[in-house]
Chains A and B, each alone.
Chain A
Amino acid sequence: MAEIETTQPGARSSRRAVCVAVMVWMLGVMILSSILHEGPFVTSIIKRVDKREGRPVLKQKWEALAEWFGQQPKPVRQPEHPPESAELPAGQSAAESQP
């Protein structure tokens, strides 16, 4: 936590190096967080690049990164299946039972 107050050329350049290193760290952490937590544009960029490539290159990389940070592999997506109403006892319509 030392305050760097000197103005000697060597000290000035080391101060600049510390500032640059801290700046890189700050932005690096925030970009990594944005990627991991699906921040703005991340999903759309992944989709766009993968569409251009014709295969899920970035998506796989993203999933590998998320898995490295502890995420469990996601199950393979299945086509949408609508909920159904079942055999209904007296007094209830199919529409009432459907979400």
Chain B
Amino acid sequence: MNVFYMDLFSIALFAFSIVLLAVYCFACLSLGTWLIGLAGGKGEEFRRTHSPAARVFSAFLFGSGVLANVWLLLGLLPGGWFRGPIVGGVAAVCLLAGWRKAWRAAVELHRQFHQACRRLIVEASWPWKVIGLASLVLVVVYFLTSALPPKGDAAAFYMSLPKIIAHVHQLVLMPGGYESFMQFGQHGEMHFAALISLGSGQAATMFVFAMAVASAGMLLEIGRLAGLGSRGRWIVMVMVFTSTAFVCVIPGGKVDLFGTAMALGALYWVAALGRERASLCLMLAGVLTGFGVVAKISLLVPVVPMVGVLALWRMSGVGRRHVVASLGVCCVALVVWAGIACVPHLIKNGVLYGDPLVPFSLLLSGKECPLLNQQLLSDAFVERLRYMYPVAPFLGQFPGMFGSISALVLAFFPLALFLPRPRRFSRSLLVQLTAVAVLGVVCWAVLQTANFSLRYFLPPLMLLMLLPARAAEVVSRSAVGRRVLAVGVIICLCMGLAERFNRTKGHPGKAVKYVLGISTAAEVAGGEARSAEAINAHGAQGRRVFLATCYSYFLQPGLLATASGQEDYDAIKSLPAGPERWEEFYRRGFRYIMAGPSRATIAKDAKSGDFYGLDLSQLPRRLTVTPIYLERDKAGEIRYAAFVIQEN
């Protein structure tokens, strides 16, 4: 009976999360629609120029960017204004701001999607029916995985910080040694905090899926501008959802896709230059670029040059008079709008760190900033990567890559030989987009050689999908001479989908069990959740937890907010190794230790070990450390542990 009740409760929670997510997304869309309308993006002409998908996803991204900054400023107000009722009230105002137009656009988007499905699934031949249906199933699978509890980086920072914000009702520095991480933007984290304040952490993690859809949607609309037909755009969708670098960041609340979606939105509006009023295009492109860079600082390297070069390229072709002046105005407009989008972030850094330009000011003053220049690859790997860079994003298995781009992109590239020759190469949008995508990848390869995490520079990699998808579409539609290649395209698409179904990274099975309540968060999330739950269950409320692990999300919010921070670590490590450190530890109110593999080494018998500078063998006589949870790996080593510290 109890199990049945738990199932119903989990399903009800999942349903509530979906409803909350839908309402919240609509609030973002409504706010964005209203603001774009104020900027001149309205009327019949605007509706005719841009498809419903382009209008809806642009408005959603614009609205979500503005709303994230509203939450940021609300969180900075002294006195704890970041409360559920206030957040709900602001969201309701946003929802009412432009709900009529937003609703109409959403209905049109539904109609557009329905037509696309009919064209590719109902009216198409059987192989294309199978490909269309399989890709839709894949999208649903990744929607389900977005409901999984946080893991990895998200359990360490991206979701832990929002949990603290929602608990203390204001933006504070994240404990656990992550204080310096907050120098970067908190775009995604502020949305997560708002959704947690509104009552659902699951809706918060699922908001990433909304961003994934917005990213894919903007890419498809860029493709439409570049001349891709419905089949070509569907091929792009297959490429996106068979790219593990993209789908692996959907589950659990990672924030990489916030920046990616914004950057692709910016590229859409730059690509629209010449079809739409330049002032509106540049405003949206500038603001979305600013939002994107704030949401994911790594995008500064590839996306800013891409947007700049594409804007200048497009503008040079728009008017023949005063070219230099118009290019100058274009640059100034982009910089000004991007700068305005960054202002709340600079205010936040000014309030929290006393320096709005941190971490860049550290670099200017000659100090080291490892967060800005991560070295994930050894010299040997860098050397190997250098000569296989063109194929590495698709076939590479390098450390820290965290997924690859669909091999379909690499497979279909030679099909470009069969594309009809454009009248002028330099005026072809497809050529321009591919060129700036290559520029983005080259910028990353040159400036961040030892970091090959594809999630850090997804927009140029995703933009590279358009040319091969268009080529595959042309080949698959040609009747004579290339029928073999058309069959080859279908075989490759089926192979790509089969590969992804065979190893659907993100564990849909786990997600289904979790959503239905068959598995608990502790069962699907890993050792960090189980060790945290042991502390939660121990009645630790009011006592402090010393984090000898990176992953703290699963602690109760009260414990998480008072957990050990950089100041504690510094104070303890400043003392000589010995009992003094433990005395200082105890004096600071720590009564629990949560240990994980990256910050603690524990002997197999759990009687000796080191917890981030605290040596168990040097414990003073008056204190006793008792393990309350131990979890071992396959080799028998203790990976996750929880300890209680008591006075004798």
A85 close to B630 (CB less than 8 A): yes
Contacts of B576 in A (CB 8 A): none
B495 close to A84 (CB less than 8 A): no
Contacts of A99 in B (CB 8 A): 522-523, 527, 530, 631
Contacts of A78 in B (CB 8 A): 633-636
A26 close to B412 (CB less than 8 A): yes
Contacts of B634 in A (CB 8 A): 77-81
- Interface size of A by Cβ–Cβ distance < 8 Å? 46
Given A70-B397, A71-B397, decide whether A33 and B635 contact each other with a Cβ distance below 8 A. Answer: no
Separation of A22 and B419 alpha carbons in the complex (Å): 13
Of B408, B491, B495, B626, which is within 8 A of A89 by CB? B626
B418 close to A88 (CB less than 8 A): no
Separation of A97 and B537 alpha carbons in the complex (Å): 9
Contacts of A81 in B (CB 8 A): 632-636
Separation of A77 and B634 alpha carbons in the complex (Å): 8
Contacts of B631 in A (CB 8 A): 83-84, 99
Contacts of A22 in B (CB 8 A): 414-415, 417, 485, 488
Among A21, A22, A81, A91, find the residue whose CB has the most chain B CB atoms closer than 10 A. Answer: A22
A97 close to B420 (CB less than 8 A): no
State which residues 43-99 of A face B: CB under 8 Å. Answer: 66, 69-72, 77-89, 91-92, 96-97, 99
A86 close to B628 (CB less than 8 A): yes
Of A2, A37, A91, which is within 8 A of B503 by CB? A37
- Interface size of B by Cβ–Cβ distance < 8 Å? 64
Answer whether residue B384 sits at the interface, using C-beta atoms and an 8 A cutoff: yes
A interface, by DSSP: helix, strand, loop or mixed?
loop
Cβ-closest chain A residue relative to B420: A3
Among B420, B502, B539, B606, find the residue whose CB has the most chain A CB atoms closer than 10 A. Answer: B502
Answer whether residue B181 sits at the interface, using C-beta atoms and an 8 A cutoff: no
Given A23-B488, A86-B606, A99-B523, decide whether A29 and B411 contact each other with a Cβ distance below 8 A. Answer: yes
Answer whether residue B385 sits at the interface, using C-beta atoms and an 8 A cutoff: yes
Contacts of A80 in B (CB 8 A): 634
Known: A2-B421, A71-B397. 9 other contacts (CB 8 A): A1-B419, A23-B488, A27-B488, A32-B407, A36-B395, A40-B498, A40-B501, A79-B634, A92-B538
10 closest Cβ pairs, A-B complex: A33-B407, A71-B397, A70-B398, A86-B627, A39-B499, A29-B411, A83-B631, A78-B635, A78-B634, A26-B411
CB pairs A–B below 8 angstroms (25 shown): A1-B416, A19-B482, A19-B484, A26-B411, A26-B412, A26-B485, A27-B488, A27-B491, A27-B492, A30-B491, A30-B496, A33-B407, A33-B410, A34-B498, A34-B499, A69-B388, A70-B381, A70-B397, A70-B398, A78-B636, A81-B635, A84-B630, A87-B627, A97-B629, A99-B530
